[in-house]
Structure 1
Amino acid sequence: MMIILWIILVAAIFMVLMAVIKKPGSVYKDKPEEKNPMEGKKVQFIEDESEDVNGDGVRGHLVAIGNSNHSPSFYEKYVKRCFDVLISFCGLIILSPIFLILSLWIVIDDPGPVIFTQKRIGQNKQYFKLHKFRSMKMTAPHDKPTHMLENPEQYITKAGRFIRAHSLDELPQIWDIFIGNMSVIGPRPGLWNQDLLTAERDKWEANDIKPGLSGLAQINGRDELEISVKAKLDGEYKKQQGIKIDIKCFFRSIGVLGGDKSVMEGSTGKIHEMDERTDELVSIITPSYNTANFIVETIRCVLDQTYTNWEMIIVDDCSADHTDEAVKPFLSDTRIRYLKNEKNSGAAVSRNKALREAKGKWVAFLDSDDLWKPEKLEKQINFMKEHGYHFSYTKYSEIDDMGNSLGTLWTGPQKIGKIRMAMFNHMGCLTVMYDRGHVGIIQVADIRKRNDYAIWVKVVKKCPAYLLDENLAAYRVRGSGSITNRQKNPLGRMKFNYEMWYVSEGKGKAAAGFLTGINTVFGIIKKIRYRKNISRV
């Protein structure tokens, strides 16, 4: 026992000395040119379209409108700091084996530094160096939020995908807490160039206190919150700061740690503000590749919807046919947007791009060769609103290239939770709709197949899916070269299922293999139980 106490004492002395040595450099004392010109100032954000886009995705700059006059309370200055030192010291000691294991994995996966440092906004707008486990490749841009990157998934390592999904990338910030740049509980520190977030927080005096590892905003929606809402919650925490709210945030944050964070990897939470129209807007996600012969019919089935408050986001993946000419006549309808990838990248990249562009409360999916019945959107929205559901799907039938019925109807379970979703993908992509206001912005890994299934796996972590027991869509069965072609080879299906679990969900090889086996077994059951024969029309 004495030996252990001596080891702890030596470790404590060493860490205190390191903190004293490292503290000045961590707040750029050795680099006065790096000092924030707005440090200690109250600020306001001024929009200016002539300037470059900042870390929040908007153009403009900050102007000083006064000085900060914050006076820390006894609790903030002494009690909270004592708790921070004690918790961070214990955390560094107890979690040291995990630090070692993750460090080795990161280096093996993508050689380079284990720790990633980034300039962030600290207390009173003082810049400091925030530490994270590196989760992105060495080639990734340094000071750009993940959500602003083109195809951000291409930069995330396999190790990084796992540690992000379980919030383990934040663990090195325990050191930032120990040396006094952060607190265990407080507003999450923004990037140095997130001017809009900084200004919004100033409205609520949230910049006056130390940033934290977790806070009131994180336990009330995490990154899917609008910036203004997040800033208000940070201000509410500042106003209530005390032992009671710190304990509440601490224990609720433990529930978040280890959970899936992939819904909004790296995002600032900037979701488009919704007016009365966009509050019920449906964003239709339509990837396109070589479907010129079908996309006109697909667009017309959307135009024929009885529910008219929609936007259709078509993302073309460098089609080699005349898709451009086929779509062009419809672009006079401002509800239809036509985007193009710079290079052929696959449906995952196209869907990710469209999901980032979406403005609606509701998100629906319709590939560029499939069809909806005119009442599809209206019935599905009414179904979800009536029952308070956030995620749903419908039955669908199959048609051939000419639009003729193949006599097949697909249905599924009345309710799909996380376990049932892991067993098999029962939902046709063209039938799915979810509430983006509840779920947040989804982004998936760059996988060529099963990327729709990868989306459902992420959404179901937020809410179960429910079946609207009605046939409202038609899936076009085609050969290769299209967005929606099915993999008929059983080994091919297993390969793509494995890739989905291993790459997109970050499962280990054994777990991915096990889930692939489960998918195969339940795929057979699905054909027996949920495939119905109907009369050909």
Structure 2
Amino acid sequence: MPVYNNIKYIQESIDSVLSQTYINWELIIIDDASTMNIKVVLDDYLCDKRIKYIRLNKNSGVAAARNKGITLAKGRYIAFLDSDDLWLPNKLKLQLNFMQKKGVAFSYTQYRYFKEDDDSLYKIIPIIKSIGYKDLLRGNSIGCLTVMLDKKVITDIKFPGEKHEDYILWLNILKQGIIAYGIPLDLARYRISNTSITSNKFKSLIWTWKVYYSNQKLSFLKSVYCLFCYIVKGIIKHK
């Protein structure tokens, strides 16, 4: 769980982990050199030995914070939760059972958006049963807060220091021949704030173009095609 100056919602996010019906988890909170005293609101939580708090000496961005957490994680499976998002109680249990039963290394689930300071929910974000590299190029349907990865199979899990870092990581993993499997269950909540990336569509399109053309090294025409598909999928996703 990366955090930067988020005192307002981080307790809700931690509570959603504590509420999990699967109890053998480890929560690593990475403080990305916040200027606020994040630890003061975490002291009561740190009595739980499953919760670790690490503060970075320098603000390095969400990718670096997540990567630090990955290197410190002791478990076989890795899951991601930002400090303002939520997991539903059965998230870890159902997802882990699915992966172990099916022998899956990469899974993700459905989720819903909800507005900042508003309990109203948007529709369930649709997912597909399975997705490979070529399919994912046409649009990112994988919510970072829903992902679970098996480190035993996917040995190189590292977010790049670029925008849309989660999308790039998923592409890099699937490029190796891994298939991501979707679980048709609504198990998480993504909070939309006025400053969230989700609310800045124009910048997001520029970053997505760079994912295709600069990072994935697609041709100009292929990048245009993928960006068009990405836009169409985004319209359907938020309709």
Using the alignment, how far apart are the partners of 1:502 and 1:350 within structure 2? 26
TM-score (norm 1): 0.42
Q: Secondary structure at the match of 1:439?
A: coil
The alignment yields a C-alpha RMSD, in angstroms, of 2.1
- Choose the corresponding residue for 2:186, options 453, 464, 471: 471
Equivalences for residues 52-451 of structure 1 within 5 A: 286-447=1-162, 449-451=163-165
C-alpha displacement of 1:370? 0.3
- With over 3 angstroms needed to count, the CA separation of the structure-2 counterparts of 1:292 and 1:333, relative to structure 1, is same
Q: 1:316-370: per-residue Cα shift (whole Å, max 9, x none)?
A: 1122334221122211111111112222111111111111112111111111100
- With over 3 angstroms needed to count, the CA separation of the structure-2 counterparts of 1:512 and 1:314, relative to structure 1, is farther
Q: Secondary structure at the match of 2:67?
A: helix
C-alpha displacement of 1:489? 4.0
Using the alignment, how far apart are the partners of 1:487 and 1:396 within structure 2? 15
TM-score (norm 2): 0.90
Of 300-309 and 395-404, the range deviating more from structure 2: 395-404
Q: Secondary structure at the match of 2:84?
A: coil
Using the alignment, how far apart are the partners of 2:26 and 2:224 within structure 1? 38
Residue 525 in structure 1 maps to residue 236 in structure 2: no
More helix by share: 1
Q: For the Cα contact (< 8 Å) 2:213–2:223, is it kept in 1?
A: no
Relative contact order (C-alpha < 8 Å, sep 6+): which is higher?
2
- With over 3 angstroms needed to count, the CA separation of the structure-2 counterparts of 1:515 and 1:474, relative to structure 1, is farther
Task: Give percent identity, aligned residues only.
Answer: 36
Q: For the Cα contact (< 8 Å) 2:132–2:177, is it kept in 1?
A: no
C-alpha displacement of 1:473? 0.4
Using the alignment, how far apart are the partners of 1:515 and 1:347 within structure 2? 29
Query: Which residue type is aligned with residue 381 of structure 1?
Result: L
Greater Rg over alpha carbons, structure? 1
- Choose the corresponding residue for 1:498, options 193, 209, 225: 209
Return 5+ residue gaps in structure 1 as ranges.
1-285, 533-537
Q: What's the counterpart of residue 153 of structure 1?
A: none
Q: Secondary structure at the match of 1:452?
A: helix
Q: For the Cα contact (< 8 Å) 2:209–2:227, is it kept in 1?
A: no
Query: Which residue type is aligned with residue 211 of structure 2?
Result: M
Return 5+ residue gaps in structure 2 as ranges.
none
Q: For the Cα contact (< 8 Å) 1:423–1:515, is it kept in 2?
A: no
Q: Secondary structure at the match of 2:44?
A: helix
Q: What's the counterpart of residue 454 of structure 1?
A: 168
Using the alignment, how far apart are the partners of 2:198 and 2:187 within structure 1? 24
Equivalences for residues 43-58 of structure 1 within 5 A: none
